[in-house]
């Protein structure tokens, strides 16, 4: 078992939704946590300097500011640096001298990736290449955040890490390419790695406009809740707390090295189930249906048996529990502040 206490950990792209939650938890466990982020991609700069109109801009700026405040209050060291800049990133990493590098930097939305493939490549593979090149020979463990989107259309109700990947669209293809790059650095330079595949994340301080976030915001403001398709699409909805706990297991366990793990709740639920929970909490909402995006693959359950057996991973936030916690957080946010929406 590897001790996290005083372990130097660098999170590249660590000020985002996953990264800041992970950084805060690692700090409570005694790690020496460093966040490297330019705050450009789906973050503070993007929302404050965008030329085009952004839905709920004021709300999201407030949420991001809360993230940064929490990191500062927890004494997490923040390095404002664009990971696309090879030499500058190397200098920052040399100064930190991390034992573990966690690569999170990426465009976080599949739909956005299909609309802007150049930016997705630039912020995903270029940053990954730079992080890998520093890490070879310098780092004891490189952790890469991939995605359930690498599987493409599920051919059955469940996939395992051994399922053949056939990604659909730009986002999934680049995540899969990233996995291949990580494995290649292990083959050529013996860089110890772990690849993590999360799915359908939700939880506090997300601004990526994932489905659960949009449902809650619309319900709170009296707008319609829109389901794309007939509501039967099933996703392995995963509360951020389960994923964070899983990453701790990855860091602590030597057996996680040179392996790929699904880190999800481990049980898919229909979109209509999430809408039903919203409806029970907000009985006056109207649910409407629109055409499904043809580039969104048919998905389902990601088996977490491998992570359970090898790491002791034990997700404990079913949708009824985790999504209600998320709703309560949003209600509290609205109650505390007069935030602008629209």
Answer yes or no: is pLDDT of 275 > 90: yes
pLDDT the model gives residue 156 = 86
Distance (Å, whole) CA 256 – CA 265: 18
pLDDT the model gives residue 109 = 60
- First-last CA distance in the chain: 49
Kind and range of the H or E run holding 100? strand 100-103
Residue with the larger pLDDT of the pair 111 and 70: 70
Cβ-proximal residues to 150 (8 Å cutoff; 6+ apart), any chain: 165, 167, 172, 175, 176, 179, 197
Residue for token pair 């466990």: 29
At the topology level, CATH places domain 8-336 in: Rossmann fold (3.40.50)
Helices (H), 74-146: 86-96, 110-115, 117-121, 127-135
Answer yes or no: is pLDDT of 340 > 80: no
Answer yes or no: is pLDDT of 50 > 80: no
Q: Is 59 exposed, middle or buried (0-12, 13-18, 19+ CB in 10 A)?
A: buried
Answer yes or no: is pLDDT of 54 > 80: no
pLDDT the model gives residue 308 = 98
pLDDT the model gives residue 60 = 87
Domain spans of the chain, in order of start: 8-336
Q: How confident is the prediction for the chain on average, in pLDDT?
A: 91
**What are phi and psi for residue 306, nearest 5 degrees?**
-65, -45
Write the pLDDT tens digit of every residue in 190-210.
Answer: 999 999 999 999 999 998 888
Closest CA to 86 of 127, 33, 26, 52: 127
Average pLDDT over residues 296-300: 86
Answer yes or no: is pLDDT of 43 > 80: no
Answer yes or no: is pLDDT of 53 > 60: yes
Answer yes or no: is pLDDT of 301 > 60: yes
- Percentage of the chain with pLDDT > 90? 74
Q: With cut-offs at 50, 70 and 90, classify the pLDDT of residue 51.
A: low
Give one word for 88, left, alpha or beta, with left for phi > 0 and alpha for psi -120 to 50.
alpha
b/e burial code for range 42-58 (CB count within 10 A of at least 16 → b): bbbebbeeeeeeeebbe
Answer yes or no: is pLDDT of 140 > 70: yes
Write the pLDDT tens digit of every residue in 235-248.
Answer: 999 999 999 999 99
Kind and range of the H or E run holding 235? strand 234-235
Answer yes or no: is pLDDT of 7 > 80: yes
Write the pLDDT tens digit of every residue in 61-76.
Answer: 889 999 999 999 999 9
Write the pLDDT tens digit of every residue in 162-187.
Answer: 999 999 888 899 999 999 999 999 99
Answer yes or no: is pLDDT of 89 > 90: yes
Closest CA to 19 of 33, 40, 1: 33
Average pLDDT over residues 26-51: 79
Distance (Å, whole) CA 12 – CA 83: 7
pLDDT the model gives residue 52 = 59
Q: With cut-offs at 50, 70 and 90, classify the pLDDT of residue 342.
A: very low
Answer yes or no: is pLDDT of 303 > 90: yes
């Amino acid at each position: 078992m590897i001790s996290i206490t005083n372990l130097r950990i660098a999170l590249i792209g660590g000020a985002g939704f996953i990264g800041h939650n992970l950084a805060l938890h690692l700090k409570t466990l005694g790690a020496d946590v460093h966040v490297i982020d330019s705050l450009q991609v789906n973050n503070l700069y993007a929302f404050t300097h965008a030329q085009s109109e952004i839905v709920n801009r004021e709300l999201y700026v407030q949420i991001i500011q809360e993230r940064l405040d929490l990191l500062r209050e927890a004494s997490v060291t923040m390095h404002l640096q664009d990971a696309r800049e090879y030499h500058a990133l190397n200098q920052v990493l040399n100064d930190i001298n991390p034992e573990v590098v966690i690569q999170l930097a990426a465009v976080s939305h599949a739909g956005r990736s299909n609309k802007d493939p150049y930016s997705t490549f630039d912020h995903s593979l270029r940053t990954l290449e730079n992080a890998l090149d520093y890490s070879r020979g310098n780092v004891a463990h490189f952790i890469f955040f991939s995605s359930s989107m690498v599987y493409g259309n599920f051919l059955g109700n469940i996939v395992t890490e051994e399922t053949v990947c056939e990604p659909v669209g730009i986002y999934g293809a680049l995540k899969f390419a990233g996995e291949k790059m990580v494995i290649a650095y292990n083959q050529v330079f013996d860089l110890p790695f772990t690849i993590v595949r999360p799915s359908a994340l939700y939880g506090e301080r997300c601004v990526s406009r994932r489905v659960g976030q949009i449902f809650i915001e619309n319900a709170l403001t009296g707008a319609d809740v829109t389901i794309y398709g007939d509501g039967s699409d099933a996703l392995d909805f995963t509360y951020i707390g389960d994923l964070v706990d899983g990453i701790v297991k990855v860091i602590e366990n030597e057996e996680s090295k040179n392996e790929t793990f699904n880190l999800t709740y481990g049980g898919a639920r229909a979109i209509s189930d999430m809408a039903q929970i919203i409806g029970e909490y907000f009985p006056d909402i109207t649910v409407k249906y629109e055409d499904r995006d043809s580039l969104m693959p048919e998905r389902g359950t990601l088996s977490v048996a491998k992570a359970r057996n090898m790491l002791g991973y034990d997700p404990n936030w079913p949708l009824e529990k985790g999504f209600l916690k998320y709703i309560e957080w949003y209600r509290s946010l609205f109650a505390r502040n007069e935030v602008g929406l629209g």
